[in-house]
A and B are shown apart, each in its own frame.
Chain A
Amino acid sequence: MTHKIVVVYQSLLGIYGDRGNAMVLVKRLVWRGIDAELIMVEPGDPVPDDGLIYLLGGGEDWAQIAAVKALEEDRGLHRGLDAGGVLFAVCAGYQLCGHSFTVGDNDEVFAGLGLLDVETRRGDQRAVGEILTQWTKPDGSMSLITGFENHGGFTKLGSDATPLAKVAVGVGNGSDGFDGALQDQVVAAYPHGPILPRNPELADYLLERALGVQLDRLPRPDVNAEHDQLRAERIRIVRTTKNRAEQTR
């Protein structure tokens, strides 16, 4: 059986290289000898309801609304999650999973998919720059998540959602000192785009959760070494910089 990694609406929610997360998930399965394919779905096409992992990425305000509308009409994502698929949503994708979010110059409130018990409203200033968070995995082990955030909305979690990771440097949810949320089949975070290339443990966690098995370390020492080096570089830079938005590079 070939596992489907489904990029949902790249043209609307993929402006930050978010497809990269899907490439990482597919390759990490294939390199372990597990069949996987990358599926790109655009509005109007049916979202397959047998996806292993679905991905929602970053996008502009009005694209979020178009995406919610198309997903509600299609319902394939909802069926896929009911069937045990996992959704990994970042940035605008995270926001639209909540009950509601604001867009536009006048902060109009729009309903989201309601998959997460969270609400997003415009924050007092835009969060732009490298972000570093500490993530505690379900087995109690800890790991740092490094990424780049760029969002105007701040997100408040309700009682059904659990925060994903504690913010060390950066803004994240903006209200509670945490970044992201977990609830049922949904894992969400603010750092957009290539968060998984920088955090292979998070990538493997998503895969293990969706597959329901424990995965061995990736049998590619060259790639593992590149991941380690990139992580070391980014973590060093975010720790040693004062002006995040201007200098975290």
Chain B
Amino acid sequence: MPLTILIFVPLLGAAAVLLQSDERTIWNSAFIFSLIPLALGLYLFAGFHPNQAGYQFVEQYQWIPQFGISYHVGMDGISLLLVLLTTILITLSLLYSGGGDIEMRPREFCFLMLFLESGLLGTFLALDLFLFYVFWEAMLVPMYFLIGIWGHGRKIYATFKFVLFTMLGSLLMLVAIIYLARAARSSLGYLTFDLADLYKVTLSSTEGRWLFAGFAIAFAVKVPLWPVHTWLPDAHTEAPTAGSVILAGVMLKAGAYGFIRFAIPLFPSVAVEAIPIFMALAVIGIIYGALVAMVQPDLKRLVAYSSVSHLGFVILGVFAFDHQGVEGAVYQMLNHGLSTGALFLLVGMLYLRRHTREIAEFGGLWSSVPVYAGVFMVVMLSSIGLPGLNGFVGEFLILLGAYLSLKVAVYFAVSGLILSALYMMWAYERVMWGPLTKTINATIADLSRREIAVMVPLLALMFFMGLYPRPLLNRMEPSVDALLARVHNAQAQMQRERILAASTFAPGSSIGSWLSFTPRDTSE
């Protein structure tokens, strides 16, 4: 029962908020309703058995039996951490937004935020592909309203782009899902959308490639991977602060999560074949995102492009198919959620005071708002991966894992790391240091108590995750191993077939063996 409560309490809260009319009550009740899933998430974290493989707190009920569709939810180490990230960021976003960032239509805003939380939690917990798709699409709607109603500037353009990109990807995934269920009927004898059953489906290699493509496009748009990232800068920049925080902090993770939970384990052999493609796209994303971020005059756009770069690391780690690499990727998902979420909050706070995000408008803020500048410093260092803070752990693990399987990619990716230090510090320098050129900047207020309350938990988590990653890595370990076992099985199978083919026919050189793309077997 806990997972169902977790998913639907925010929805209940959303309904409750709609009935309120007093602005203060709306913010308070929304905040309280967001605390319940947070508390429940912590409770689940405590009750989670770290060494147990497979899903925990599983619930399954019939939903549409004609199609073999059930309400099937469960939690493993990876979804546990993403659920925690979601609940933390939603709570903090609501806390922040109540402090003056959102003045127009607070009731609708809180309704949509809580609705969004339901969708996100459902996405991370669904174990039935139909159910997953329902949550996956349902979370699109509140985000679309959040950007469109409370956004800035070219918000309408941004919403359209966001919706059309993501819809196109997910509808193709829907076709793939239905096709897969149909294949399940011919290979298992019954129609099912259940993930565990679909793992057992055997497909021809052509079918597998097309279906993997259907899933991968949907997830790649969400991640976003270069070259389908173009919706991201617009959506992130025009969204209200809380929208950007959730979009970057949680929603992008849904894309990477989709790869880990669905696309790769459902089609492991295709995923192995696709390693070069994804590594290349990830590396391009890392460098491209960093280079474009460097030349942004707008602070928020800079953070948005840095997301493209950071998520490239996540994909690099996932497709390393190495214990360290995948763990690092999941860890990096959490890091990015915290640090980019925090960055968007900080940029939002600045915007609230000055109504501009142009870097050129600032300079010398260190002397007028020291607390703000200090917090910004920590967050920035976390984002660029300073040892001792969270970002370092994830990036180090990813590079370690990827280095063992694909050295070339790592050489390029490391340059992305250097670039990220460069653009972040450069931006920091221009905003915080130097002389106070604009007199108006001398008069802006430092962080309010509410804003400090928003930032402190984030900073604490950054230090905690940087210094003591063990409890989190522990919990995701069995899930990561299960994923890798599937991939390595498929790899071994392909190896056997290749040897068989080579012994009967003339020795051919596939691209994979030629470039030695084959990941190291870590089953020692």
| A and B together in one complex | no
